[in-house]
Amino acid sequence: MRKQKKRRIGECVYCGNVGPLTEDHIPPQNLFPKPRPANLISVPSCDSCNGGASKDDEYFRLCLTVVENAKGQPARDAVFPSVLRSLVRPEAKGFSTSFWNDTARADRLSPSGLWGTGTLHAAAGHRMDRVAVRIVKGLFFSETRQRVPDDHAVRPLHVSRLTGLDPNKRQAVEGFIDALLNTQTKRIGDVFAFSRLWSQNGWPRCVWLLEFYRRVEYFIMIWPT
């Protein structure tokens, strides 16, 4: 009988629990067509946090790839056939129907800072937010080798929600976004890019901008609770 490899014990970057670890790719590996880039990021995660996120990851990919302004981006087009196959599975019929019934027009922001409109599935935005939070927690660890402190929260804002903010908050967020757009971007293939700025108010306060398939999708803050 083949001896099972002993896994290392350590702290999960997401929940902080100590136990056997596995490697979790951030952003989700399913966003990347094969062959995948050599510079994929992985972080130590417990089984519960890693395995428990798979359905949200699938939902996240679906939301990013089905919108009409995603068409024509090579990496998206390469992965889209597998997205469609996941939708036509018999066991996914109810999910597929509810997804298409809950789409709406929404504002979007291009990487160059230009505004436009597109289709956004907003009915389960909390599911997308969970993935975005996990990505930033993983990026924070990758950049600092430390977990996001427990007394700090990761606050996600999809750019489509900017129009719903009060004018002062919107102006502040748009100022952060402009600064992030003019900050050096770290890119993983043609699928994912991010930029980050540390706050002058002290570590670990920071803001992040996440881009998928050459489209800016999320502005995220790490701030004290």
1 or 212, greater pLDDT: 212
Helix, strand counts (H, E) of the chain? 6, 11
Question: How large a percentage of the chain has pLDDT more than 70?
Answer: 81
Question: How many CA atoms are closer than 13 Å to the CA of 10, on its beta-carbon side?
Answer: 15
Tell me what the mean pLDDT of segment 136-153 comes to.
97
Window from 44-48, 102-106, 155-159 with minimum mean pLDDT: 102-106
Instruction: Identify the pLDDT of residue 124.
Output: 60
Strand partners, 119: 105
Using N-to-C axis directions, what is the helix angle for 125-144 and 54-65, rounded to 10°? 110
Interval 62-71: pLDDT, tens: 989 988 778 8
Q: Which strand (E) or helix (H) includes residue 85?
A: helix 74-87
d(CA 222, CA 155): 6
